Amino acid sequence: MAHPGEQFYPEGVRWDAPIARGAIPDLLAKSAAAYGARPALEFRDRQITFAELQGKVDQAAAAFLRAGFGKGAAIALYLGNSPDHPINFFGGLKAGARLVHLSPLDGEIALSHKLKDSGARVLVTSNLAALLPMALKFLDKGLVDRLIVCQDETWGDVGNKVMALPDNPAIVTFADFAGDAQPPAAWPAISPDDVALLQYTGGTTGLPKGAMLTHGNLTSAVAIYDVWSEKARAERNTVERVICVLPLFHIYALTVILLRCIKLGDLISLHQRFDVEAVMRDIEVKRATAFPGVPTMWIAIASLPDLDKRDLSSLVAAGSGGAPLPVEVAKVFERKTGLTLKSGWGMTETCSPGTGHPPVGPDKPGSIGLMLPGIEMDVVSLDDPTRVLPVGEAGEIRIKGPNVTRGYWNREQESAGSFVGDRFLTGDIGYMDSDGYFYLVDRKKDMIISGGFNVYPQMIEQAIYTHPSVQEVMVIGIPDDYRGEAAKAFITLRTGAEPFSIEDLRAFLAGKVGKHELPVAVEFLKELPRTTVGKLSRHELRSQQLNPSKQQQQLATGVRS
């Protein structure tokens, strides 16, 4: 069999099923026509129907066109999780512009780079005090010519701190910008091959680069998930209530939640931030049926002392993505709730889809699942990316599919170097077993070379997570006079747990990892650094180690010579 994992696909699902491509505005238009009176979004207990959303999108699109931000223009979105995001996301794309997502949690240097690199001269933001000051800086620095400011209180006043707008002709509220805009005689023609979104990624070793994601990439990503879940959806035959805590500026939430739910007519329960009790209320009281999260969210939920007494019976889909899910966390969650928590794998450059777990199949803890329909993956040598490795041997994962970016904006050389023929080199190290299931070992750039051996931090972390005192852990390489580099563990402890020595940790890990993988040092922190979407950040941890003034307060340190 060319694709051994296909034997475990849901009944009736074929790997070579046709994957539809199209334009994002058509995706919303078809759903508005089909589900007009059905709620598309719920935010602060207020519901917005598909028809209302389409009307607001049309108004935004007409305003962008009137202001000259149509074909060839770039619009930057600097927004959190509120209806302002989908309105301007779909509106900008309907006007024919390409969009640029800016993370509200990024620093000024990274954000300034993204604005300069993308060519975006207009910025849509909010009057929230957490966002507006930075947006005003961009205007003052001449990085943008126009600020369009959405007003948070439009969606109900919940006490968020907002700011008054300066008197500046370059600044306009969204209400004034879009208020009297009239639709054009004809909307711009949009091709599936047009770039829809510059999604910046890969800033850990330099400045972020913008993955060019076309309308066809994004719509085919949604279609891949549709093919994969078609049987399960038909059997349930219901409107799902999907919790969206993940930030919409991130590719995982954008594809898996926003675009998929809009296409399928499901309800998105939109949260501005992750609050574990707010999420539990959504599940227990409002009967949410699906919650895609990242591992840090599942760690928080799995750590709830009364989780085994909570009512999660409405939840039919609990998914983890964005980062590797610790096996121990999945075990604890399943033991306490009876729900299976499985993780898939994907990337910004793949518009999210890569692998997934079938509803029925072998139990393979630690696996990221099978390659999804329409996607081809293999594993190649780290030394020669044209040499495909046999089953069970670890190397770099390559991927090909209609959802894969064609490269990076303004980075021809880097784009060319990311592909071998038509296959994208992911930078992830992993292997495939004889059943077609893939396993991640680590990121290529995170690998530690210790005494000539390849050491993978993630494998050590998985073992440390089995320690009863450990809440979260990250492992990075540190200089070692004898080995060149060695592993050091950074740990946050569970409530009430006491720090332990490096000798205790090594004794606990004996037999669980190889001798060459045993950490030589351990450090206990109150908190581990995270990325803008809540993932633990090895890059920031390394940065803290190089610049001790950035380190968070330590609880205790142990070092073995």
Q: What is the pLDDT of residues 88-117, one digit of tens each?
A: 999 999 999 999 999 887 778 888 989 999
CATH number at 48 reads 3.40.50.980
**Taking the alpha carbons of 513, 514, 517, 523 in that order, is the dihedral positive or negative?**
positive
- Asked if residue 403 is part of any domain, the answer here is no
Rounded Cα gap, residues 357 and 344, in angstroms: 7
Binned at pLDDT 50, 70 and 90, residue 456 comes out as confident
* Eight-state DSSP code of residue 530: B
Reported as a single tens digit per residue, the pLDDT across 184-216 is 999 999 999 999 999 998 643 457 899 999 999
Reported as a single tens digit per residue, the pLDDT across 119-150 is 999 999 999 999 999 999 999 999 999 999 99
Q: Mark whether 348 and 225 lie in a shared domain.
A: yes
Mean pLDDT, range 498-517, rounded to an integer: 90
H runs (alpha helix) in 11-131:
24-35, 50-66, 84-94, 108-118
Half-sphere exposure of 298 (CA within 13 A, CB side): 30
Q: Mark whether 60 and 201 lie in a shared domain.
A: yes
- Asked if residue 533 is part of any domain, the answer here is yes
Backbone angles phi, psi at 500, to 5 degrees: -130, 165
CATH number at 499 reads 3.30.300.30
- The number of distinct structural domains making up the chain is 3
Q: Mark whether 234 and 285 lie in a shared domain.
A: yes
Residues 6+ away with beta carbon under 8 Å from 522: 488, 489, 490, 491, 500, 501, 502, 505, 557, 558
Please count the residues of the chain: 561
Which of 353, 274, 324, 329 shows the shortest CA–CA distance to 443? Answer: 324
- Asked if residue 395 is part of any domain, the answer here is no
- Asked if residue 292 is part of any domain, the answer here is yes
- Asked if residue 402 is part of any domain, the answer here is no
CATH number at 247 reads 3.40.50.12780
Rounded Cα gap, residues 188 and 203, in angstroms: 34
Mean pLDDT, range 162-183, rounded to an integer: 96
- Asked if residue 59 is part of any domain, the answer here is yes
Residue 480 has pLDDT above 90, yes or no: no
Q: Mark whether 172 and 272 lie in a shared domain.
A: no
Beta strands in 224-373 (DSSP E): 241-244, 267-270, 290-293, 317-320, 342-343, 355-356, 367-371
Q: Mark whether 14 and 67 lie in a shared domain.
A: no
Rounded Cα gap, residues 101 and 388, in angstroms: 35
- Asked if residue 267 is part of any domain, the answer here is yes
Domain boundary among the residues 394, 412, 438 is at 438
Domain boundary among the residues 214, 248, 272 is at 214
Q: Mark whether 208 and 278 lie in a shared domain.
A: no
Task: Tell me if residue 362 falls in helix, strand or coil.
Answer: coil
Binned at pLDDT 50, 70 and 90, residue 556 comes out as very low
Q: Mark whether 236 and 366 lie in a shared domain.
A: yes
Q: Domain residues for 458?
A: 447-559
Rounded Cα gap, residues 42 and 288, in angstroms: 12
Q: Mark whether 200 and 250 lie in a shared domain.
A: no
Q: Mark whether 207 and 289 lie in a shared domain.
A: no
Q: Mark whether 454 and 504 lie in a shared domain.
A: yes
Q: What is the pLDDT of residue 288?
A: 97
Which of 129, 40, 133 shows the shortest CA–CA distance to 87? Answer: 40
Q: What is the pLDDT of residue 342?
A: 79
* Eight-state DSSP code of residue 155: G
- Asked if residue 408 is part of any domain, the answer here is no
Helix, strand counts (H, E) of the chain = 16, 27
* Eight-state DSSP code of residue 259: I
Q: What is the pLDDT of residue 283?
A: 97
Q: Mark whether 340 and 463 lie in a shared domain.
A: no
Residue 71 has pLDDT above 90, yes or no: yes
Binned at pLDDT 50, 70 and 90, residue 554 comes out as very low
Q: Mark whether 154 and 265 lie in a shared domain.
A: no
- Residue 514 near residue 503, CB atoms below 8 Å: no
Across 96-132, b (16+ Cβ under 10 Å) vs e yields: bbbbbbbbbbbeeebbbbbbebbebbbbbbbbbeebb
Domain boundary among the residues 420, 438, 456 is at 438
